[in-house]
A and B are shown apart, each in its own frame.
Chain A
Amino acid sequence: MSQAIQTPEATQEARQAADEPLAPRRSALAEFWSYFRQSRGAVIGMAVFIAICLVAIFADVLAPHSAIEQNREALLTPPFWQEGGSTEYLLGTDAIGRDILSRLIHGSRYSLAIGCVVVLLSLLIGIFIGLLSGFFGGTADAVVMRLMDVILAFPSLLLALTLVAILGPNLTNVMIAIALTQQPHYVRLTRAAVLAEKRRDYVTAARVSGVRTPRLMLVTILPNCAAPLIVQAALSFSTAILDAAALGFLGLGAQPPTPEWGTMLAESREFILRAWWVVTFPGLAILITVLAINLMGDGIRDATDPRLKIG
């Protein structure tokens, strides 16, 4: 391409490119965002997820009715567009006359809380065990890794179910049980990343210059293991919501009258052939939430994968 046919914009770009080394380095977050927003799906997923978070925060204001109040006059009212429905209950009512829309709005709190707690819990346990295991190695490391193999040898839902049966069926125990089945993935990821990083020169340099072990683990090594952990966090956020709903559906999760989406589905099972809306909407809420998080997760994975950046 010759100089003569370059447009003014192109010259400007070239000038900017030449200036680049002098300009301050873009922050990691800005760089991440510039990759993340290239995926339309990821941005849509994030928008939906933010909307669901807002619904959860402002549930008390948004919900037209109480989530647990029963109305004997309006049992199994269909949604407003169907014959017999009314705009009083936009998505209809359930078998004991509770407003489905209000229950769904309040239910978003439970699903998001479950996702957050499970991710935080399994992330903390996983990083702690994985760091120690990868950093020190030896017998303890071998024992821990076999223990993780044992946990992974059971289907996660079966393991969570057994644990909830032991601990007693309620929301707190559901979160603990799911976190326990999730944490081996974090342990393995952290350990693998630590093993790869600890032989690098920058770690040796830090050690030689007198950095103490805890600081070496948490400040020097850990941030460089962050990318796979963040991707896994998005993945287990959605798995946690699905598993918790499945436990609720099996009667081992949140107990009625809690408006948890899976529990709502369990209560609606006997009406499936009479009142489709009682079954359809809670599941749709689960699907939309999980799909939004998975779209975001895919976007995060692509934006943090160095192999994709080169291309």
Chain B
Amino acid sequence: MLAFVLTRLLLLIPTFVGVTLAAFSFIRLLPGDPVLALSGERGITPERHAALMSEFGLDKPLWQQYLAFIQDVFSLDLGNSLVTKRPVLEEFLTLFPATVELSLVAMTLAVAIGLPIGVIAAQRRGKFLDHTVMTVALTGYSMPIFWWGLLLIILFSGWLGWTPVSGRISLLYFFDTPTGFMLVDSLLSGEEGAFKSAVRHLILPSIVLGTIPLAVIARQTRSAMLEVLSEDYVRTARAKGLAPIRVVGLHALRNALIPVITVIGLQVGVLLGGAILTETIFSWPGIASWIVHSIERRDYPSVQGGLLLIAGIIMLVNLAVDLLYGLVNPRIRRS
């Protein structure tokens, strides 16, 4: 097992170097430069332009800029945003909990609904219920989620007036946010109605973000269950006279969960991609919409640091899934 963990960790190193190179070079390939973007339509004199470029260290040769970047990465300093002047890491960490909270709720929703309906569909294979569930799942899988979000806003915010349109909490509430998780902070604040407001703001965005993972999990659970249910040991368990719920819940589901866990892990990338659209539609102040704005504003350090952090998170989650998979399935470890 130790050798398995070490190989996986070693494989990460070249990928990580590649990711730093990619994050570094992408933003330097963008047309226009940050100083021009900052000065806006008023324009800027060539002298001032040169002075600012040298202040930001953008006048040095590329390889020097890259080495400086790597050095900073290892000292956990991702530079300051050109727009707000605040450290990039600090900006990222302030906004990150908003994205994590949204993703966690969306994922919980997806697993809590996707897993049981996948199991039920597998048990009723070929029946009406199976067809219905799988048609709904495929529709969810095919959903343009930005449109889905707009539809839900029209229905629940426009026509029914049940849910707010944007943000994380009503503007009426003002309290400290020590954890950054609005659900926790609103409870800690002790303000009446704050938690309810936070929940109401979370409902639509998490439905939108959770739709595709839900569909993927339901489909994967169904096919994994079908495979397991035809195994000999399941037939043996049935023949022994075990209660169907015990056969399905204990013997079959435990083994069917292995591929499902992998799929759940792989959804993290999907979630972060989906968060770009979800956060845009609901004006959710998270890292996905932040990085899109940074690209628009040519905020080099923010884009560079943001891309690196996002890719780093995805790599770490994939590593964790790999290790978990190796832990539950010994055959993987040896290959």
Q: Do B26 and A153 have beta carbons less than 8 Å apart?
A: no
Q: How far is the CA of A273 from the CA of B157 in the complex (A)?
A: 9
Q: Do B151 and A158 have beta carbons less than 8 Å apart?
A: no
The reply to whether the CB of B291 lies closer than 8 angstroms to some CB of chain A is yes
Q: Do A287 and B139 have beta carbons less than 8 Å apart?
A: yes
Q: How far is the CA of A89 from the CA of B273 in the complex (A)?
A: 36
- State which of A117-125, A195-203, A242-250 sits at the interface with chain B: A242-250
The reply to whether the CB of A155 lies closer than 8 angstroms to some CB of chain B is yes
Q: Do A153 and B147 have beta carbons less than 8 Å apart?
A: no
Q: Do A166 and B26 have beta carbons less than 8 Å apart?
A: yes
The reply to whether the CB of B270 lies closer than 8 angstroms to some CB of chain A is yes
Interface string of B281-314 (1 = CB under 8 A from A): 0000000100110011000000100010011001
Those of B226-278 within 8 Å (CB) of chain A: 269-270, 272-274, 276-277
- State which of B13-21, B63-71, B76-84, B105-113 sits at the interface with chain A: B13-21
Q: Do B30 and A286 have beta carbons less than 8 Å apart?
A: no
Known A150-B15, A276-B154, A290-B142; judge A265-B147 contact (CB<8 A). yes
The reply to whether the CB of A215 lies closer than 8 angstroms to some CB of chain B is no
Q: Do B276 and A161 have beta carbons less than 8 Å apart?
A: yes
The reply to whether the CB of A207 lies closer than 8 angstroms to some CB of chain B is no
Q: Do B18 and A150 have beta carbons less than 8 Å apart?
A: yes
Would you call the interface of chain A mostly helix, strand, loop, or mixed?
helix
Q: How far is the CA of A238 from the CA of B215 in the complex (A)?
A: 15
Q: Do B144 and A287 have beta carbons less than 8 Å apart?
A: yes
The reply to whether the CB of B146 lies closer than 8 angstroms to some CB of chain A is yes
The reply to whether the CB of A280 lies closer than 8 angstroms to some CB of chain B is yes
Contact for A291 among B14, B139, B314, CB less than 8 A: B139
Those of B310-324 within 8 Å (CB) of chain A: 310-311, 314-315
Smallest beta-carbon distance A108→chain B, Å:
15
Smallest beta-carbon distance B223→chain A, Å:
11
Q: Which residues of A contact B (CB under 8 A)?
A: 41, 146-147, 149-150, 152-158, 161-163, 165-166, 168, 238, 242, 245-246, 249-250, 262, 265, 269, 272-273, 276, 279-280, 282-283, 286-287, 290-291, 294-295, 298
Which 8 pairs between the two chains have the least Cβ-Cβ distance? A283-B147, A150-B18, A155-B273, A157-B273, A290-B142, A291-B142, A153-B311, A155-B272
If A146-B15, A245-B146, A273-B158 are given as contacts, then 14 extra A-B residue pairs at C-beta distance below 8 Å, sorted by A number, are A147-B18, A150-B19, A153-B15, A155-B270, A156-B269, A158-B288, A158-B307, A246-B276, A249-B277, A265-B144, A272-B154, A273-B153, A283-B151, A291-B138
User: Can you list 26 contacts pairing A with B, beta carbon distance less than 8 Å?
Assistant: A146-B18, A149-B15, A149-B18, A153-B15, A153-B314, A154-B19, A154-B22, A157-B277, A158-B291, A161-B276, A162-B307, A165-B30, A166-B31, A242-B144, A245-B144, A246-B144, A246-B277, A249-B277, A273-B157, A276-B154, A279-B147, A282-B147, A283-B148, A286-B144, A286-B147, A290-B142
